[in-house]
Amino acid sequence: MTMHMNDWIDVGAVDDVPVRGSRIVRAPEGDIAIFKAADGEVFALRDKCPHKGGPLSQGIVHGRSVTCPLHNWIIDLETGEAMGADHGCSNVVALKVQDGRIFMDARRLAAAFA
């Protein structure tokens, strides 16, 4: 059993994440980046590029991917996988949106930092 009432953690409003941009959820284990694509859909990844650990939240969001600010790896927002010739994965955290609020799956949070 979890220690709180709900397995879904309210991390903020969809409107608080800029379109084609991102915000960070600061967790004790590390940062989670919440991205919002041009069409308004939100995604969450561990904020750490599989390449050299760059903060993906600081990258440019385009389509359903983000380009890491350090060395331009492109990461798929849906899978966390590096695209193109690069290989690696940044763990995805499950999200759901309800009434304009973003909820993160608490049960899967720890796994993201595994």
Partner 1 sequence: MTEKLVVIGNGMAAGRVLDNVFETAPDRYAVTVFGAEPRVNYNRILLSPVLSGEKAFEDIVTHDDAWYAANGVNLRKGVNVVAVDRAAKTVTDSTGAVTKYDKLLVATGSNPFIIPIPGVNLPGVVTYRDLDDVNAMLAAAEKGGHAVVIGGGLLGLEAAAGLAVRGMKVSVVHLMPTLMERQLDAAAGYLLQGAMEARNVDVITKANTKAIFEQDGRAAGVLLDDGRTLPADLVVMAVGIRPNASLGKDAGLAVNRGIIVDDEMRTSDADVFAVGECVEHRGQCYGLVAPLFEMAKVIAARLTDDPAPRYEGSFLSTKLKVTGVDLFSAGDFADGPDRDEIVLRDAARGVYKRLVLKDNTLIGAVMYGDTADGSYFFELVKSGEDVSDIRDTLIFGRTFAGGASADPNAAVAGLPASAEICGCNGVCKGTIIDAIGAKGLTDINGVRAHTKASASCGSCTGLVEQILAMTLGDGFQKAKVEPMCGCTDLGHDDVRRLIVAKELKSIPQVMQELEWKTSCGCAKCRPALNYYLLCDWPQEYTDDSQSRFINERVHANIQKDGTYSVVPRMWGGMTSPSELRAIADVADKFAIPAVKVTGGQRIDLLGVKKEDLPAVWADLNNAGMVSGHAYAKGLRTVKTCVGTDWCRFGTQDSTGLGIKIEKFMWGSWTPAKVKMAVSGCPRNCAEATCKDVGVICVESGYEISFAGAAGLHVRQTEFLCKVATEDECMETIAALTQLYREQGRYLERMYKWSVRVGIESIRAAVVDDAAKRRMLYARFVLSQKTAQIDPWAERVAGKEAYEFAPIRQLDLAEAAE
- Residue ranges that bind partner 1, judged by CB under 8 A: 2-4, 9, 11-12, 16-21, 23-29, 31, 34, 38-39, 52-55, 58-63, 67, 69-70, 72, 74, 106-107, 109-110
Cβ 92 to partner 1, closest distance in Å?
Answer: 17
For residues 36 and 5, give the distance between their C-alpha atoms in angstroms, rounded to a whole number: 27
Question: With respect to partner 1, which residue has the nearer C-beta, 67 or 90?
Answer: 67
**Contact assessment for residue 36 and residue 61, using Cβ atoms and an 8 Å cutoff:** yes
Residue 45 near residue 65 (C-beta atoms within 8 A): no
Q: Closer to partner 1 at the Cβ: 87 or 107?
A: 107
Amino acid letter at 31? D
State the nearest-atom distance from the C-beta of 100 to partner 1, in Å.
Answer: 14
If the CB atoms of residues 2 and 85 are measured against partner 1, the closer one turns out to be: 2
Residues 6+ apart with CB under 8 A from 113: 27, 29, 30, 46, 91
Closer Cβ to partner 1, 32 or 80, answer by number: 32
d(CA 19, CA 21): 5
